[in-house]
């Protein structure tokens, strides 16, 4: 069950830890942590702590299985190519998996904030799906484009949040971008060694002995 400890009176600190962008980044991090067939509950709990959740975080194997199913649904938002696709996916998730919007302060232990799960003690999978849909919906609204991407590196496939006004990123990290750029350079160099410029490629319709076609 969800547990939220009492926070300090510094609401600015709470707002930073639970901002829309931080929540969206937490969503991407959890999607990646839950991508394995049998995610380790301790590793998933570490991701939650890294993004502001407080102890005790006692995840069971059943909790993680439910969160993994929720993460698979959320990955579809990151796979959307255009804002229309992301919005359609979010609309479906909001209709099928969330409750009416409500405000909660968790009994006065936190600043007022919106929730889309059924109550403050919702199961982890419901909480993950509802809070993630909330954050990703706001990002689509704010930026009018998909909130994130799936890394273009075929050896990675991590989800990540895109941001900024420049060209949209294709890779989750500089490491992935560099690795794919090096791989592309090696493929190009290998092709040039095999078929040097000016030498031409073998002609399947080459003329055989006596001037007739070899076909």
Measured distance CA(145)–CA(149) in Å, rounded: 11
pLDDT over 50 (residue 3): no
Measured distance CA(20)–CA(138) in Å, rounded: 7
Across 206-211, average pLDDT: 49
Three-state secondary structure call for residue 136: helix
pLDDT over 90 (residue 143): yes
Mean pLDDT of the chain, nearest integer: 85
pLDDT digit string, tens, across residues 7-31? 444 556 777 778 999 999 999 999 9
pLDDT over 80 (residue 182): no
Which of 53-67, 130-144, 184-198 has the least mean pLDDT?
184-198
pLDDT digit string, tens, across residues 51-103? 989 899 999 999 999 999 999 999 999 999 999 999 999 999 999 999 999 99
pLDDT digit string, tens, across residues 151-170? 999 999 999 999 766 677 88
Measured distance CA(4)–CA(48) in Å, rounded: 12
Q: What are phi and psi of 108, to 5 degrees?
A: 90, 5
> Which alpha helices (H) appear in 144-209, and where do they start and end?
174-194
> Which alpha helices (H) appear in 52-204, and where do they start and end?
61-78, 83-97, 124-143, 174-194
């Amino acid at each position: 069950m969800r547990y939220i400890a009492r926070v300090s009176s510094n609401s600015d600190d709470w707002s930073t830890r639970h901002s829309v962008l931080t929540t969206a980044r937490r969503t991407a991090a959890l999607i990646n942590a839950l991508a394995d067939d049998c995610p380790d509950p301790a590793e998933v709990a570490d991701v939650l702590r890294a993004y502001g959740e407080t102890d005790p975080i006692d995840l069971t194997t059943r909790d993680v299985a439910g969160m993994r199913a929720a993460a698979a649904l959320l990955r579809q938002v990151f796979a959307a190519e255009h804002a229309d696709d992301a919005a359609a996916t979010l609309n479906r998730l909001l209709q099928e998996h969330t409750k009416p919007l409500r405000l909660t302060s968790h009994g006065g232990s936190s600043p007022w904030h919106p929730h889309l799960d059924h109550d403050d003690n919702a199961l982890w999978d419901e909480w993950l799906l509802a809070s993630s849909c909330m954050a990703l919906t706001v990002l689509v609204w704010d930026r009018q484009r998909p909130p994130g991407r799936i890394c273009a590196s075929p050896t990675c496939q991590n989800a990540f949040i895109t941001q900024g006004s420049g060209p949209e990123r294709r890779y989750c990290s500089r490491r992935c971008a560099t690795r794919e750029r090096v791989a592309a350079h090696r493929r190009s160099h290998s092709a040039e060694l095999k078929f040097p410029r000016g030498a031409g490629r073998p002609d399947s319709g080459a003329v055989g002995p006596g001037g007739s076609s070899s076909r």
